[in-house]
Amino acid sequence: MTDLHELYRDLHRHPELSLQEFRTAGVLADALRPLGFDVTTEVGGTGVVGVLRNGDGPVVMLRADMDALPVEEKTGLPYASTTRATNSDGEEVPVAHACGHDMHATCLIGAAEQLARARAEWSGTLLVVFQPAEELGSGARAMVEDGLFDRFGKPDVVLAQHVGPLPAGFIAHGSGPVMAASDSARITLFGRGGHGSAPETAVDPVLMAAHVVVRLQGIVSREISPSERAVVTVGRLQAGTKENVIPETAEIGVNIRSFNEHIAGIVRSAVERIVRAEAAASGAPREPEIEWHGGTPVLVSDESATGRTVAAFTEHFGAERLIPGATVNASEDAGVFGSAAGVPTVFWFFGGIDFSNWESGRAVAMNHSPEFAPDIEPTLTTGVGALVVAAREWLRN
């Protein structure tokens, strides 16, 4: 029987960036094989797929992501990551499981083990998918394009979950749009370099970028109706090499979140308008470059299928451990699987924070924070249990 606590600590201690999940994929594949699954690796790059056929019945897909983030962990845990890796731009960066994907993968191994041991109690096919590159918004699409459903069978339902800064042991759920669409832009502003003592001889892209960053903050507050939801975040601003040298370029990384394409279109257009207008106002010698990438669609948890799954959660966990109405501005590409297969997706959240351990008034660390790390228990037991209960609801009993 797999020691799930040790598996989690191992994955947490050895995080890997998106599309570099080679060790992680090997560990998870090795954990699946003794359970009787037909295991295939390198699906969509580094993805792992396990298939357990157990007679006639529905095909139920359980999905977990497994990539980490370029974040330096500051949790102080004895199993904290000290890993560094080279990113796609050739830069050395710290790496940490600051989003909880190590917990997701561990929970899926635990659920696969429980379901494999209980084969006499259900029939159908269990399709277990460990997905790479969720943080890039491209991993699910890559697995689909690599023939996921043609090679391993089309599911009747896709089930997935995400750990978050909720009370450990609780499950939060919603139906309809539960996670936002995400679009990212890489913006390059062009100036004219020069000496810091003679700014009149140059065109300063740093000042240009500063004006862009400030103006972008007005899009949601002044161009989007208060009844709609949208977020604009500047997560990256890079320019120059020395304090007395005016550089020739500045780069800005922008991310937007929205819940419908109309609002997303307004925000994208506003970003482009502001960037070009500020470049023109600054006398830029050439037009800025704006490259949109990494789009993730709105994640929709099917209303009927979610209701059926939540009813099973209620019976198993009790209504007092369920939190209704969960909708967040973060994004997830798990919905790509259900959309591609033309089947319902059910998505829920489970808590990972023991609030009794937190000092009064101290902020709770959110996903992507250097201090984010779920308490192993009861988080792990809850996540495993939720996957098992959901799968059993959809498999033939």
* Residue 105: closest CA among 170, 23, 174, 166: 23
Rounded to an integer, what distance in angstroms lies between the CA atom of residue 396 and that of residue 375?
33
Alpha helix ranges (H) inside the chain = 4-13, 22-32, 101-117, 139-145, 148-152, 205-216, 218-223, 261-281, 303-317, 335-341, 376-394
Residue 14 marked in a binding site? no
Pick the closest to residue 159 from 116, 102, 112 (CA basis): 112
Q: What are the residues whose beta carbons fall under 8 Å from the beta carbon of 123, sequence distance 6 or more?
A: 54, 55, 56, 57, 395, 396
Do the Cβ atoms of 81 and 97 come closer than 8 Å?
Answer: yes
pTM: 0.92
Residues 6+ apart with CB under 8 A from 141: 333, 336
Which of 110, 87, 100, 119 has the alpha carbon at shortest distance from 28?
110
**What residue has token string 């209303």?**
303
Residue 251 DSSP code: E
Instruction: Flag whether 368 is marked binding.
Output: yes
| Residue 97 in tokens | 């499981």
Triad 395, 348, 163: Cα angle to 5°: 120
Query: Was 211 annotated as part of a binding site?
Result: no
Instruction: Compute the distance between CA of residue 308 and CA of residue 271 in angstroms, rounded to an integer.
Output: 41
Cα 32 to Cα 35: distance, rounded to the nearest angstrom:
6
Per-residue confidence (pLDDT) for residue 250, from 0 to 100: 98
* Bridge-based pairing state of the strands 322-324 and 230-239: unpaired
Write the DSSP symbol of residue 347: E
Given this model, what pLDDT does residue 397 score? 82
Rg of the chain's alpha carbons, rounded to an integer?
23
Q: Are 182 and 389 in contact (CB under 8 A)?
A: no
Residue 166: its pLDDT value, please?
Answer: 93
99 annotated as ligand-binding: yes
| pLDDT values of the chain reduced to their tens digit, one per residue, 397 residues | 889 999 999 999 999 999 999 999 999 999 999 999 999 999 999 999 999 999 999 999 999 999 999 999 999 999 999 999 999 989 999 999 999 999 999 999 999 999 999 999 999 999 999 999 999 999 999 999 999 999 999 999 999 999 999 999 999 999 999 999 999 999 999 999 999 999 999 999 999 999 999 999 999 999 999 999 999 999 999 999 999 999 999 999 999 999 999 999 999 999 999 999 999 999 999 999 999 987 899 999 999 999 999 999 999 999 999 999 889 999 999 999 999 999 999 999 999 998 776 665 567 889 999 999 999 999 999 999 999 999 999 998 8
What the chain holds in terms of domains, given with CATH numbers, is 4-178+298-394 (3.40.630.10), 181-295 (3.30.70.360)
